[in-house]
Amino acid sequence: MSKKNLFIGSLAYATTDESLAEFFSQIGEVESAKVMTDRDTGRSRGFGFVTFVNEDDNAKAVAELDGKELDGRAINVSEARPREERPRRDFGGSNGGGRRDDRGGNGGGNSFRQRSW
C-alpha cells in the first residue's frame, strides 16, 4: 500500500524541494517533498507534494500549516486526491472531419474558399 501524499498549493516560485521539506519537517520526518515544475521551462508550477514517514503527521500538518506563510506566500495544505484518468489527446488524427460539398472542396474549414468573380 502506498503512502498518502499531501497536496501543497499556492507555492511561491522561489520554493524548492529542499525548502519545502525543511518547512514540513517541523511536523515530523519528511520522506519526500517535490515541487512540480513545468516540463518545458523548468519553472515551478506553484504546487507540490509532501510525504511523511509517519502518515499520522498528515492530519497534523493540515491542521497546523494550512494558511501559513512559506517564502512569502500563504500556502494551502490538504490531502492529495488520486490522479484522475483523463483521455489521451490525439494530435495526429484527422484534418477536421469536415464533409465534402458539391463543389469538391472540403467543408471542414481547413481549405481556402474559392473566389467567385
Domain-wise residue ranges, the chain? 6-79
Three-state DSSP class for 24?
helix
pLDDT at 104: 54
pLDDT attached to residue 105: 53
H helix intervals, 1-117: 17-24, 57-65
Closest CA to 2 of 35, 45, 32: 32
- How far CA 29 is from CA of 17, 49, 57, 85, 114, in Å, comes to 15, 14, 9, 31, 69
Q: CB under 8 Å to 30, separation ≥6 — which residues? A: 21, 24, 50, 51, 52, 53
Average of per-residue pLDDT across 75-102: 75
Task: Please tell me the predicted confidence (pLDDT) of residue 34.
Answer: 98
Among the CATH numbers 3.40.50.620, 3.40.50.2020, 3.30.470.20, 3.30.70.330, which is that of 6-79?
A: 3.30.70.330
Task: Evaluate if residue 54 carries a pLDDT over 60.
Answer: yes
pTM of the model: 0.72
pLDDT at 1 over 70: no
| Residue-level pLDDT at 91 | 74
- What is the spatial distance between Cα 97 and Cα 72, in angstroms, rounded to a whole number? 50
